[in-house]
Amino acid sequence: MKKLLFVFAALLLCSLAHSQEGEGTGSYAEFQVIPRFEFNPYFTPGHSGDGSSGSSLGNSSVYTLLEGAFGEHVTYTVSNHWFAPDPSPLYTGTLYSNTNNWLDIATVSFNFGGFNFTVGKDCIATGGFEYDEWDVDVDYVTVGEKPLIASYLWYNLPSYQWGASIGYDFGEHTSLKAQMLTSPFGERPFASGLYSYSLMWKGNYGAFSNIWSTSAIQRPDGRCEWLVSLSNRFGLGDFTLGLDWYNMVDVDFGLEDSPCEFIKGNTIRPVVTYSPAEQFDCSLVGNIYTRLKGLYDLNAGAVVRYRPIEPVQFHTAVGWDYNTKAVSAMFGIKVNFSVFSL
């Protein structure tokens, strides 16, 4: 697989060079610097002295995003995560596949007819609409290291991996993707010899849209864990109703026989969004986690986002956790600085 990817990358680079020699029709490049700052206080009744009450910087971060194309058939994306409240894991995890690091996405794609071929570092094709957003746009609302609005799976799964995918668009409404990436259950990409294999169906059918996927993720013992996601959206005027389901609850780390492990169960994620104008939207979000013994945990929250001018977003949110009865709030700002657009 590693040799195949190297050959595929070489072919892409050759075609990239060839496309640069042409007239350049459709070529462009856009580079953004995206800082996000948040203040996230949280409180657990009756536990003010044990660390379960306090504050954090939430999803405070600095990202850069480079997107572009060489001609009509070759596109590329590079997304970097340069800063976080605790930035050291971004850099100590550089050569590891069981954690996310400073390089989220680095892909080159070929597009011919309805087919598209992608190689590089990409997100595992799973998780539905929650995974469709850039990380810098995701609202955590945490109690310590526990997210209340983002799901546990999104927050903890090392989803950015190296590999390749092939997709096909059936007209304007349906697309299918087959993907092979390195596995988050392996410590080192490629060297571990572990991979994840995914199939994803995206549909947009008027008021209804969906992202359904299944992934077989290899473990060190040779077995595969099956990760299934069914994500659905219904548009009703200014409202969007969403319901996502994952067959996993969370990811556990620090195990003796594997760098990480799925916690099996169900994640049910209802979302209601109201978007009366481009400058404003608000959402109600729930995360219901169940296992064989019944309810595992439950979180609920609300988010409000306001964009007075195009590059600036102010946002605030509140969240509540059933198990600990903790309440959390978040206030923040995000700015998309366009450095250049060619």
CATH of the domain at 86: 2.40.160.10
CB neighbour burial string for 57-80, b if at least 16 within 10 angstroms, e if fewer: bbbbbbbbbbbbbbbebbbbbbbb
**pLDDT score at 129:** 93
**pLDDT score at 274:** 98
Q: What is the pLDDT along the chain (342 residues), one digit of tens a residue?
A: 455 445 445 544 554 454 444 445 689 999 999 999 999 999 988 755 555 789 999 999 999 999 999 998 999 999 999 999 999 999 999 999 988 999 999 999 999 999 999 999 999 999 889 999 999 999 999 998 899 999 999 999 999 999 999 999 998 899 999 999 999 998 888 888 999 999 999 999 999 999 999 999 999 888 899 999 999 999 999 999 999 999 999 998 866 666 778 999 999 999 999 999 999 999 999 999 999 889 999 999 999 999 999 999 999 999 999 998 999 999 999 999 999 988
Helix (H) or strand (E) holding 5: helix 2-21
| Residue in the block written with tokens 């092939």 | 166
**pLDDT score at 158:** 93
Nearest Cα residue to 308 out of 333, 291, 283, 328: 333
Boundaries of domain holding 269: 2-341
**pLDDT score at 13:** 54
| Contact call for residues 102 and 81 (beta carbons, < 8 A) | yes
* Phi, psi at 186, each rounded to 5°: -100, 145
**pLDDT score at 305:** 98
As for how many domains the chain has, the answer is 1
Structure tokens at 137: 């746009």
| Contact call for residues 62 and 33 (beta carbons, < 8 A) | yes
**pLDDT score at 25:** 60
pTM of the shown model: 0.89
Cα of first residue to Cα of last residue in the chain, in angstroms, is 35
**pLDDT score at 171:** 87
